[in-house]
Each structure stands twice: as C-alpha cells, then as structure tokens.
Amino acid sequence: MTKPAPTVRELIRQHYSELTQSERKFAQALLENYPAAGLASITIVASSAEVSTPTVARMVQKLGFKGYPQFHQALRSELEAKGSGPTKRREKWAAEAPDSHLLNRFAQTVTRNIEQTFSNIDTGSFDAAVAQLADTEHQLYVVGGRITRSLADYAFTHFQAVRPKVTYLTASSATWPHYVLDMAAGDTLLLFDVRRYEANLERLAELAAERGVRLILITDQWASPIARVAHFSFNCWVEIPSAWDSNTSTMMLLEALIAATQEACWPETRDRYERLDALFDLTRLFR
Amino acid sequence: MTKPAPTVRELIRQHYSELTQSERKFAQALLENYPAAGLASITIVASSAEVSTPTVARMVQKLGFKGYPQFHQALRSELEAKGSGPTKRREKWAAEAPDSHLLNRFAQTVTRNIEQTFSNIDTGSFDAAVAQLADTEHQLYVVGGRITRSLADYAFTHFQAVRPKVTYLTASSATWPHYVLDMAAGDTLLLFDVRRYEANLERLAELAAERGVRLILITDQWASPIARVAHFSFNCWVEIPSAWDSNTSTMMLLEALIAATQEACWPETRDRYERLDALFDLTRLFR
DNA sequence: CCTTGTTTGGAAAAATCTTTTCACATGGGG
DNA sequence: CCCCATGTGAAAAGATTTTTCCAAACAAGG
C-alpha cells in the first residue's frame, strides 16, 4: 500500500514548532500565496519572503525533503493532482460492468477529450464565430473531409433549419470550384478538417480566403494546416486508443455552435421551425 | 491603464498557427496539464513532453517571452492571480467564461445526457450487439432518419473500414425495398431513429424483421416504436433546452460500438486498415 | 560583561539549468 | 531524383541556482 503523501501545507503545520523565526517567516509567506510562492527558484522565493537562501534550504530539509528541487517538485505534483481533481471522475459508467470493460474505458477517454476541448475554447472567438454564422446577409457554406463529411452533413441539416442561405459542398471535391465561383467577400465557410488532413480542403480554403470569405475551421488538437488561413479555428481533442479518431467532442462543439447560432437568430429561427413543421405535416398528408 | 496581459493559454492559441510540429507537441502537453506542466525547469518540462530543450526555448520566444524564465514567471503570476481571486471556484468548462455563458450551460446539459446514456446501457446487450456487428459472415446494413442520416453515414464510413459486407441504405426511402430484396436471415440492420420517429423507417424495420434480419436500434430516451421489433435497442438521452435534440450522446454510443466491433474483429481489421492506407497513398500518387 | 549555543546571511564551490551553436534529418518543390 | 529550406536535437558554452561553509549577530544564563 502506498503512503498518502502529505501535502507541503501539512508538513509545515507538522514541523512548525521546530522552525526558527526566519524559517517561520518564509513558511507564512508560502502559506499566504500557496502554492505559487513556492514555485520559483530558491533565490527568488527567498528574497520575496525577505529571508536568505540558506534559510529556505535548511527549512525544506527540516520538512523532510532532500533539497529544494524535491520540495519544488512536491508542490508541482500537488498542483497537478488538483488540476485533475475537481473534475468529478466517474468510476464506472455502465452500471454493473467492471472498470476494465471497453464501455467504461471508452467513456473515460472520451469524457477527458470533451473536457479538454471545452476548456480550451476561447469564448471570445466562439462568440465572434457565432456572430459570423448568424449573419444571414451572407451565404454560409459547409464542407468536410473524408470522415468529417458526416459532421458537415449534420451541420448543414441543422443550419438549414436555423437560417437561410446555407449551402453544402458535396463530398466530391471535383465540384468544389463550381461553388467557389459564387463565393463573395463576407460569406462564411465552415470547414471540418481532422487528420489525416486533406490537400483538397486546404486548397479550397486558400481559394475561398483569397476571395474574402470568412473561414471557420473545426479541427483536431494538432490543428490542420488550414488554421493558417482561417479566421477562427477550434481544436477538438479526438485521440482514443484506436486506429481511428473519436469525433464525439467535435460533434459536441458543433452542436454548441448550432445552439448559439440558433439563439442569435431568434426569433426568425422559431418562425423557420414552425414553417418546417408545417411542411412535414403536408408531406405526411400526401402519403 | 495597464495592458490586460494575455494568459499563456491565450498566447498559445494566438500563435498556434506559427508553431512547428514539435512545438505544438509541447503546447499540447502544457494545455493538458495547465499550468503545472510548465512550472518545472525547461529540461524537465521538455523531456516530459518528449521534445528537446531547444524546441521549448524557441517556442517561448515565439510566444513573445525573452526566455524560459520569463515564461515561467508569467505562468506563476497567472497562478497567483487565480489563487487570490474569488475562492469560490465553480466548475467551469470554457476557461475564464462565466457559468452563464451558453458554452458552459450547454456542456453541462450534454454531459448529463452522456452520463444518463452510458449508465443505462446493459453491458450484456452491448456485448451481444457487438458480436452481431462483428459477424462478418453476414451482411451489415445501416440506415438512419432525417436527422440521424448523418450518424448512419458516419457509422457506415467506419464499419466499412472495420469489416467487409457493409451496405448503406441511401437517404431516399423510395429505394429501400431494393435493399430489402437482398436481405437474408442472419443479416444485421443497424437503425437510427430519434424523434420525430419516421413511419418509413418503422415499415422498413418490420419488413426486415419478417425476413429474419437482426435489428440493432439506436434511439432516444423515449424509444422509437421500432424497439418493439428490434433485437437490441439502446437509448440515448438527447434532450437539450432547444428546438432540436442533441446527438452527442448518440455519437458517443455509436463510437463505442465501432470501437468494440473493431476490437472483436482484430486482427482482420488491422489488415483492412493497412490496405486502406495503401490505397490512399495510391490515390495521392495519381494526383 | 562574558560565555555558550543557536540563528542568520554572505560568499564561494558545486551542481544544475538555460541558451546558443551546429550538424543532421526531413519533406516539399523543381 | 536531387536540391534547398526548414525543423530538430546533441552538445558545448554561458548563466543561474543550489548547496556548503563560515563568520557575524544575537539571546540567554552565569
């Protein structure tokens, strides 16, 4: 069984009575700004607590560390543990299944990907991209790669319901130039490109960018080369222990964009949904 | 007025397109364990990200720092500012965004859906369904509804890579009888049907069931009527505060099925992937 | 006022870390 | 197929940090 590894904070409390005056001065400074005040070099840390370097060195040894680097390392480990701590780790996902069941392992990995994806979104860019997607004055084009084509398709289906002037660039890249023909400055192109990145897509992005089209790129954590010319790019963590990549986080980000766009386009969108429903009812009558 | 001093996270996003491959590798490592992963010495940080020391040194200069110590200092300042801020640290998804931001609300709802979905999966059925999907003796058909068509398409793309004998039933339900013609007992039909449930799909399911085809249904929490004739059904929680349903949990379940099927079909699947890669390389040569 | 034991910080030596240089590797373009 | 541009890491050079040592300062008791 492994020992619980006491935190530096606990160690200080524990050894406080043995500490000398200067050492206590440093201990106070550290506790008042924990743990940041202990993460610099010993010289900086010492001078900002207004004690000498050897005082700090002696003290960390009293706490049981071999030297300052070990003390430093301990603080960092604590911080790291804390970083992954607040995220409520679900032990088991599928009810009565062991942790080792593929379902649980898969759920854990993908959840981690989702967390990473969302915590790395810049809300400013997100809002700006949504404003772009909600600009119904201009055309919105959607395109995806070999795998992400399905996501582009999903995006198209929903955006078409949310707003007018949406065009889906078909899977066959041979026809893409036809679409570029009609692209105008101010239009928006929503691209999906996860590895392995496709040269055709990149070329399309360049052509569109040259014509003043605003590019919104949804890519993976390693970033497609298109990121260079895109106005907004969003990175999705997609890696799973498998021969292919998981697009659950991609899907979730896409849906977030759709939800935000819908909100931005309200109430015109509500009107569209009502008309759409009416149309579905009509097709049912015909049958 | 002092400048807002961008965080290192922001700097990385901002300069991401200029970064080289190894630099990105380090950037990823840092983002995944932020900021602890950047608070050690440059040598330690570099080796734990599996890049060389100069790579890190060059990168921090690209970010605008004079050297590694300045970068280190910036990270510590951020940490310090965070620690002295409001102690009430609620779980946030998008960094530095208020809880009320759509992104965070959306993430919370969808995460709840995912939890519900996965904790309600019966692992026995899951394993049995996977065995069915991995049965390469028989044909596998995939079909989806108006919205879930994209998911069916995604499923098709991946299952086609994993195993032979996979057929995608096109969007146009008028042609579905043609496919039914060739369905045989023991074949598998993977159906997606979330509300609003489609009569065409139900009719197709009945026809297939009559012919001894095994039905695997992926539906929503309220269950499509097809569940009555399906051999396995999986319910995905899809409700979000919106006019449409979220299919992130559906996507995740689908990917879990693909991952499990891939594992069940190994090593034939590996062989297929290798051949697929070779074919892609060939098409690149043609261009 | 002296003595003794302890604490403290300056300074130098030792160790470590950071930066720069340079040669090799890699991959795209002619 | 070769060449060139760019990216990468090994290693040396330089800078900093960590540690050790020691003398000065200090407090308490005789």
Q: Is A90's Cβ below 8 Å from some Cβ in B?
A: yes
Rounded distance in angstroms from the CA atom of residue A24 to the C1' atom of nucleotide D28: 21
In a domain, B2, yes or no: no
Compute CA distances B145 → A40, A269, B210, whole Å. 58, 22, 21
Q: Are B172 and B236 contained in the same domain?
A: yes
The pLDDT of residue A82 is 67
Q: How does pLDDT run across B153-189, given as a tens digit for each residue?
A: 999 999 999 999 999 998 888 889 999 999 999 999 9
Average pLDDT of the residues of chain B: 86
Which of B84, B116, B142 is the endpoint of a domain? B84
The pLDDT of residue A99 is 64
Residue ranges near strand C (C-beta within 7 Å): A 20-23, 51-55, 58, 69; B 41-44, 53-54, 57-58, 60, 66-69, 72
**Which of B123, B147, B157 is closest, CB to CB, to A101?**
B123
Q: Are B268 and B147 contained in the same domain?
A: yes
Q: CATH number of the domain at B38, please.
A: 1.10.10.10
Give the DSSP per-residue string, A7-63: -HHHHHHHHGGG--HHHHHHHHHHHHTTTGGGSS-HHHHHHHTTS-HHHHHHHHHHT
Interface test mutation site (partner B, options A33, A96, A255, A287, max chain B beta carbons within 10 A)? A255
Question: Would you place residue B85 in the very low, low, confident or very high pLDDT band (cuts 50, 70, 90)?
Answer: very low
Q: Are B155 and B256 contained in the same domain?
A: yes
Q: How does pLDDT run across B6-41, given as a tens digit for each residue?
A: 788 888 887 887 888 888 888 888 888 888 888 988
Over residues B244-259, the mean pLDDT reads 96
Cα separation, A122 vs A110, in Å, equals 21
Q: Are A58 and A138 contained in the same domain?
A: no
Q: Are A194 and A76 contained in the same domain?
A: no
- Do A255 and B247 lie within an 8 Å CB cutoff? yes
Q: Are B146 and B23 contained in the same domain?
A: no
Element containing residue A272 per DSSP (H, E): helix A268-286
The answer, yes or no, to whether the previous bond of B267 is cis (omega within 30 of 0) is yes
β partners of residue A111: none
Task: Decide if pLDDT at B92 tops 70.
Answer: no
Angstroms from B204 CA to nearest CA on chain A: 16
The pLDDT of residue B287 is 43
In a domain, B70, yes or no: yes
Q: What are phi and psi of B60, to 5 degrees?
A: -65, -25
- Do B248 and A248 lie within an 8 Å CB cutoff? yes
Rounded distance in angstroms from the CA atom of residue A277 to the C1' atom of nucleotide C5: 92
Q: How does pLDDT run across B105-122, given as a tens digit for each residue?
A: 899 899 989 988 998 888
Q: Are B17 and B133 contained in the same domain?
A: no
b (16+ CB within 10 A) / e for B88-117: eeeebbbeebeeebbbbbbbebbbebbbbb
Q: Are A187 and A246 contained in the same domain?
A: yes
In a domain, B99, yes or no: no
Cα separation, B264 vs B163, in Å, equals 10
Q: CATH number of the domain at A269, please.
A: 3.40.50.10490
**Cβ contacts of A150 on chain B, cutoff 8 Å:** 150-151, 153-154, 157
Q: Are A227 and A175 contained in the same domain?
A: yes
Q: Are B64 and B168 contained in the same domain?
A: no
Contact B96, B232 (CB under 8 A): no
- Amino acid making up residue B206: E
Strands A188-193 and B188-193: unpaired
Q: What would the two tokens of residue A103 be? A: 């379902």
Which of A82, A102, A129 is the endpoint of a domain? A82
Closest CA to A265 of A142, A122, A166: A166
Note the strand C nucleotides within 7 A of protein beta carbons.
6-11, 16-22
The pLDDT of residue A89 is 46
In a domain, A91, yes or no: no
Contact A269, A162 (CB under 8 A): yes
Environment class of B125 (CB within 10 Å of its CB; exposed 0-12, middle 13-18, buried 19+): middle
Q: Which domain holds residue A144?
A: 111-286
Q: Are B46 and B165 contained in the same domain?
A: no
Cα-based angle A90, B100, B221 (whole degrees, multiple of 5): 50
In a domain, A201, yes or no: yes
Question: Would you place residue B232 in the very low, low, confident or very high pLDDT band (cuts 50, 70, 90)?
Answer: very high
Q: Are B61 and B139 contained in the same domain?
A: no
In a domain, A69, yes or no: yes
In a domain, B179, yes or no: yes
The domain tally of chain A equals: 2
In a domain, B97, yes or no: no
Cα separation, B42 vs B53, in Å, equals 6
Low-confidence residues of chain A: pLDDT under 50? 1-2, 85-91
